[in-house]
């Protein structure tokens, strides 16, 4: 940006920072819209503009990983601890390149309830545990409100490594990690799964529906019933979504009580 005549350097810096802040708000607003409406909102606009999207070819990650990794011995794991020890050095997708800690999951290995998010954030990457920090505290409060403790449930994510800059994990990254989540489910055998956010729901259920369409419905996945609600981080950004989220989790608790 070229300085505008008659304006101080301080003014120019302030102006630039204001522009950056506005851009960040716009980007976050678009992310929040996608959280509710899914890809349809963006695809409709792209079609109107007749924009051509060129997809990059998929990388062959087998070249980066050791041959022994692909023998898939982890499928024979008998416990969660054994499974974690077998997969915590995974290099199947590029997310491993910048991770600090592999975030496997935490909770009751015999839980009736499993909570699934999209992936670790910065704090989770530091601590190696899912849903810590502000979003984690809110999740704890949500569970407590429907008479569950974190110790009673099992909490995991679709992807086990943090996407750079907390970006949304892409389809290839989720597909690479999904077999691990399925194995966790097979070992835990939960009756109910609560998917937090659109990305987690789409990654697990392989549906292109919006969050609005999926909320309130009951799906099936790996022998468990699945419901979908907002991600706690989205609720922190948009407190007006807390009321519909409360309605979702009350239905989730009711379904649990009926199954018991």
The tokens of 189 are what? 């055998």
Which pLDDT band holds residue 232 (cuts at 50, 70, 90)?
A: very high
Higher pLDDT, 241 or 67: 241
The answer to whether residue 51 scores a pLDDT higher than 70 is: no
H helix intervals, the chain: 9-37, 40-49, 80-87, 122-127, 133-145, 171-188, 198-205, 211-214, 232-237, 242-259
Question: Could you tell me which CATH number the domain at 61-259 has?
Answer: 3.40.470.10
Q: How many CB atoms lie within 10 A of CB 154?
A: 26
Neighbouring residues of 211: CB distance < 8 A, sequence distance ≥ 6: 35, 36, 37, 38, 197, 198, 201, 228, 230
- The 10s digit of each residue's pLDDT in 123-143 is 999 999 999 999 999 999 999
Distance CA 126, CA 242 (A): 28
The answer to whether residue 172 scores a pLDDT higher than 50 is: yes
pLDDT at 45: 38
- Mean confidence (pLDDT) of the chain: 83
Asked if residues 142 and 249 have their Cβ atoms less than 8 Å apart, the reply is yes
pLDDT at 72: 82
Neighbouring residues of 160: CB distance < 8 A, sequence distance ≥ 6: 87, 90, 102, 103, 104, 119, 120, 177, 180
Across the range 221-231, mean pLDDT stands at: 97
Across the range 164-177, mean pLDDT stands at: 95
Which pLDDT band holds residue 184 (cuts at 50, 70, 90)?
A: very high
Distance CA 69, CA 223 (A): 28
Rounded (10°) angle between helices 242-259 and 133-145 = 50
Across the range 141-167, mean pLDDT stands at: 97
Smallest Cα–Cα separation from 198: which of 99, 93, 102, 117?
Answer: 117
Distance CA 227, CA 45 (A): 29
Higher pLDDT, 2 or 179: 179
- The 10s digit of each residue's pLDDT in 65-82 is 444 444 689 999 999 999
pLDDT at 71: 62
The answer to whether residue 44 scores a pLDDT higher than 70 is: no
Distance CA 76, CA 183 (A): 9
Domain locations along the chain: 9-49, 61-259
pLDDT at 2: 47
pLDDT at 59: 39
pLDDT at 16: 55
Higher pLDDT, 187 or 44: 187
Across the range 220-237, mean pLDDT stands at: 97
Exposed e or buried b per residue across 57-67, where buried means at least 16 C-beta atoms within 10 angstroms of its C-beta? eeeebeeeeee
């Amino acid at each position: 940006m070229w300085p505008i005549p008659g304006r101080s350097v301080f003014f120019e810096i302030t102006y630039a920072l204001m522009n950056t802040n506005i851009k960040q708000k716009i980007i976050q607003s678009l992310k929040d819209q996608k959280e509710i409406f899914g890809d349809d909102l963006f695809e409709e606009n792209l079609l109107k503009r007749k924009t051509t999207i060129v997809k990059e070819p998929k990388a062959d990650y087998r070249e980066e990983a050791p041959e022994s990794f692909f023998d898939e011995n982890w499928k024979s794991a008998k416990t969660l601890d054994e499974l974690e020890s077998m997969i915590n050095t995974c290099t199947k997708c590029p997310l491993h390149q910048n991770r600090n800690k592999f975030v496997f999951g935490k909770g009751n290995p015999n839980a009736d309830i499993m909570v699934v998010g999209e992936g670790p954030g910065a704090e989770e990457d530091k601590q190696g545990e899912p849903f810590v920090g502000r979003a984690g505290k809110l999740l704890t409060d949500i569970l407590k409100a429907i008479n569950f403790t974190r110790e009673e449930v099992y909490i995991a994510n679709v992807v086990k490594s943090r996407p750079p800059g907390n970006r949304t994990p892409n389809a290839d990254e989720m597909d690479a990690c999904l077999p691990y989540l399925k194995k966790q489910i097979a070992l835990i055998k939960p009756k109910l799964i609560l998917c937090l956010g659109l990305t987690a729901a789409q990654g697990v259920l392989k549906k292109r529906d919006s969050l609005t369409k999926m909320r309130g419905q009951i799906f099936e996945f790996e022998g468990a019933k699945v419901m979908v609600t907002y991600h706690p981080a989205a609720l922190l950004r948009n407190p007006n979504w807390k009321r519909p989220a409360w309605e979702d989790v009350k239905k989730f608790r009711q379904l649990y009580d009926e199954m018991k």
